Amino acid sequence: MSNAPTLAQQIAQLAQRVSVDGLSPQVREATAQRVTDALGNALGAAHLPVVDQMRAVVSGWGGNPQASVVGGPATAAPNAALLNGTMAHALDFDDTHLPSVLHPSASVVPAALAAAELSGASGPELLDAIAVGIEVTCRLGMAGYDQELGNSVFFEYGLHATSITGTIGSAVACSMLLSDSIDATMSAIGISASMGAGLLEANRTGGTVKRIHCGWAAHGGVVAAQSATAGVTGPPTILEGRFGFLQAFLRDRVDLSAISDGLGDQWAVERLFIKPYPCNHFTHSGIDAARAMKARGVDPDSIIALTLGLPTPVLRTIAEPANEKASPRSGYHAAFSGPFTVASAFYADNGLGLFHEDFTDESASDPRRLALAAKVSCEANAECDAIFPYQFPAILTATLADGSQVIEKVLANRGGPDNPLSAEDLATKFTLNAHQSINESHAQELAHTITGLVTGETTPRSVGKLLSGEPR
């Protein structure tokens, strides 16, 4: 039997090392930015019907008031994580890691915040735990990235990797805040690996369940860490074992080196893509291409046909079934439609281009948008395939009434390292989201309090207190 540490042991050792030594101010600052974005998204989603429905479910459970909930009373830590995680992901406005195609912060931030409030952790301790949790989430996602396929094996199997690997990442983050034991963190990994789940069919044909996936991942992470702290144990080979996590979800299509190589030397939290638009990330470059055409003076009434060239793996999410995407059944489903988002970009200029008002049921039935969406044909494009999934590119070709064509290529996502949002853009996104639930001064105080976590000037409990204030 090998004496080499298992993958869970390596992760637990990293967690303990970071707990003792701390992370650099640079990494903590990047993490605080992700916290700001995630909690802004949660504030923006606080009044959605699915959130009200989950509030009713959680209210029926009861529980000790251990952790804060956006726009509502405190509740048991796992339940707070469930509600806040649901809100952080519900608008599909959360950050993305590439090429794993994960949304790590929407699970890890709510889970860690709940655990930090429960334990009384400091601001730097919270940020360090979140950074490690995001790292674990993304590395497990990358273990399922197939270089030859050019896509995530999770997605090939119809699995929502975010809610699966995010459960484990959340468990690690919570364990760092609830226990300083390597064994407890290993067990938290082993326990949480039995909890992660999520299917992607809702992206294709409807349902609101995907909106709660990150909430359940956050809930599972808190429960796993609490269970491990109480003495429940998990198998040390839970990740790489014959009947372990990776084999169960990925079969033999797994890259173990993606988990262990350079672990602790680099941080995914510094390389996440921040969304400018509240819709599926695959649609964003098409939106940017349409906005560029509009800026060039292309009148949507003059368009006879639009061809949206995309990476092949993207088609199943935002182009198929074609009739569902051309005429989405709700505002939420419109956020997963390539044709509809392209059409909307010609008619709207809200937020940073498109905003929440563009994904209401009313907007989804707008005859102008539907008429233009019906003219959009989505097809695989070889140039886009060569870039995906390190970017989500799009090439948009418009055929006009006079027979001419206009082409716009967007090969680097707005909001990513190669095309970052400005500080003003980030502030605008947070403020507009926050204003869905709280007023201007409250939003400014919250943003300042999150920033203060970096130096320890403020605490997770002070952040939670501001989040739980009564909505206007």
- Determine, yes or no, domain membership for 24: yes
Among 204, 201, 167, which residue's Cα sits nearest to residue 338?
A: 204
Cβ 465 vs Cβ 41: under 8 Å = no
Clarify whether residues 401 and 446 are in a common domain. Answer: no
Cβ neighbours around 340 below 10 Å, total: 31
In a domain, 453, yes or no: yes
Stretch among 87-91, 148-152, 291-295, 426-430 having the lowest mean pLDDT: 148-152
Q: Are residues 221 and 77 in the same domain?
A: yes
Domain match, 348 and 212 both: no
Both 94 and 231 in one domain: the answer is yes
> Can you give the CATH number for the domain in which 298 is found?
3.30.1330.120
Least confident of 104-108, 207-211, 239-243, 440-444: 207-211
The pLDDT, as a whole number, for residue 232 is 98
Please report the pLDDT score of residue 202 as a whole number.
84
Provide the 8-state DSSP code for 269.
Answer: G
Domain co-membership, 294 together with 167: no
pLDDT for the residue 231: 97
Domain membership of residue 172 (yes or no) is yes
Q: How far is Cα 112 from Cα 31, in angstroms, rounded to an integer?
A: 12
Same domain assignment for residues 129 and 52: yes
C-alpha 1/C-alpha 447 separation (Å) is 51
Average pLDDT, the chain: 95
Could you tell me the residue range of the domain that residue 111 belongs to?
7-275+432-467
Of residues 454, 447, 471, the one with CA closest to residue 463 = 447
Q: Give the chain's domain count.
A: 2
6: DSSP letter = P
> pLDDT class for 472, splitting at 50, 70, 90?
very low
Distance CA 217, CA 223 (A): 10
| Domain assignment of residue 423, yes or no | no
Phi–psi pair at 77, nearest 5 degrees: -55, -45
Q: What is the pLDDT of residues 171-206, one digit of tens each?
A: 999 999 999 799 999 999 999 999 999 998 887 777
Q: What is the pLDDT of residues 454-464, one digit of tens each?
A: 999 999 999 99
In a domain, 447, yes or no: yes
Residue 2 pLDDT level (bands cut at 50, 70, 90): low
374-385 average pLDDT score: 98
Asked if the structure places residue 422 within a domain, the reply is no
For 101-149, what is each residue's pLDDT tens digit?
Answer: 999 999 999 999 999 999 999 999 999 999 999 999 999 999 999 888 7
**Which CATH number do you get for residue 160?**
1.10.4100.10
Quick check: is 305 in a domain?
A: yes
Residues 134 and 265 in one domain: yes
- The H or E element spanning position 123 is helix 123-143
Helix runs in 298-337, H state only: 315-318, 322-326, 331-334
Task: Give the integer Cα–Cα distance in Å for 110 and 215.
Answer: 8
Strand partners, 399: 305, 405
The answer to whether 125 and 111 are in contact (CB under 8 A) is no
Q: Specify whether 11 is located in the same domain as 113.
A: yes
Specify whether 138 is located in the same domain as 254. yes
pLDDT digit string (tens) for 298-348?
999 999 999 999 999 999 999 999 999 999 999 989 999 999 999 999 999
Is the pLDDT at 151 greater than 90? The verdict is no
Q: Is residue 472 situated within a structural domain?
A: no
Assess whether 93 and 47 both reside in one domain. yes
* 77: nearest Cα among 46, 44, 113, 120: 113
> Nearest to residue 336, comparing CAs of 198, 205, 203?
203
Residue 10: count other Cβ atoms within 10 Å of its Cβ.
17
High-pLDDT (> 70) share of the chain, %:
99
Instruction: Write down the pLDDT at residue 149.
Output: 79
Q: Are residues 285 and 267 in the same domain?
A: no
State whether 254 and 396 are in the same domain: no
